Amino acid sequence: NAGVTQTPKFQVLKTGQSMTLQCAQDMNHNSMYWYRQDPGMGLRLIYYSASEGTTDKGEVPNGYNVSRLNKREFSLRLESAAPSQTSVYFCASSDSLYNEQFFGPGTRLTVL
Amino acid sequence: SQQGEEDPQALSIQEGENATMNCSYKTSINNLQWYRQNSGRGLVHLILIRSNEREKHSGRLRVTLDTSKKSSSLLITASRAADTASYFCATDKEDDYKLSFGAGTTVTVRA
């Protein structure tokens, strides 16, 4: 049981480049989430997917898009990266919106 | 905006001592959760307490919830070096189940 996996672990982009962060879970969870964590701050929700086939905006969705590819996979895309998107990105999953979340190891993204 | 805020921001204790941290929040909640994050790693769920519960235990962890004061506390008893981490409270809102995380309490346990 790998839990929640994220790829890549590290990424450096130039301003304006695009990339997709991948997330997969093997716990048969219905709900999946993308957060960003900046120094001295808690996690902020970017987008979430309550169940397969649905996605909704969180607190800080601007500059991002998501795809819930199937029940296992939830990807986050940066279409045109900006330095303000330099952060650590975490994917999480839970069996329902009301229960504990399981987190991946994170992706450290630097935008130059 | 952050719903929950932890206090203190940082805490340094000797191995074997107890560590207590607090979380205050602004609006009525369904659940409050505590998570731990070791340096450079993802968050790990510690405990969930529902709004109709007042106290919960898990191993060396004790969580209390006072909905009248909109606050919670996390107590770690008999701390160990491995407890060195950042601890976050996360709350939802009564009409919105999305979690909002505080900025965390950084705990250092000295040998």
Rg value, chain B, Cα: 13
* B41 chain-A contacts, CB cut-off 8 A: 105-106
DSSP per position, chain A: ---EEEE-SEEEE-TT--EEEEEEESS--SEEEEEEE-TTS-EEEEEEESSTT--EE-S--TTEEEEE-SSSBEEEEESS--GGG-EEEEEEEESSTTS--EE---EEEEE-
The per-residue pLDDT for B70 is 95
Nearest-CA distance A42 → chain B (Å): 4
CA distance A110 to A28: 31
SS3 label, residue B22: strand
* A41 chain-B contacts, CB cut-off 8 A: 2, 103
The per-residue pLDDT for A96 is 78
pLDDT at residue A98 above 90?
no
The per-residue pLDDT for B2 is 56
SS3 label, residue B6: strand
The per-residue pLDDT for B61 is 98
Binary contact (A106, B41; C-beta < 8 A): yes
